Structure 1
């Protein structure tokens, strides 16, 4: 497996193990937009928190407020 594929697989594992990320992905799916994605800042925070063993940075109520959709 190539490095890029390994990193993508690792990111999927992290995303699936993180409740706020699954919530965000579901919310974006519900928008029904033909082409969209979650912004890089949310992905960066997801990976940073996972690598450093942090739980969610903010209370659950505000987590989805900072997830950008492009």
Structure 2
């Protein structure tokens, strides 16, 4: 897995990396971790992300995730 620096992340996000608030990043990371290890269901994790993050924030995060797949 390639580790990206701040400039690469911002470029992938179309310069919109700062549009995603800190709480959104925290919830996405935590829920992704918990869902991966089976501590919560995927539906529960996605519902929590929907509560905290706007659709725009989720779109930016999905663009960033593409480099890992």
For the aligned pair, the TM-score class normalised by the smaller chain equals 0.3 to 0.5
Structure holding more helix per residue: 2
TM-score under structure 2 length normalisation:
0.32
TM-score under structure 1 length normalisation:
0.32
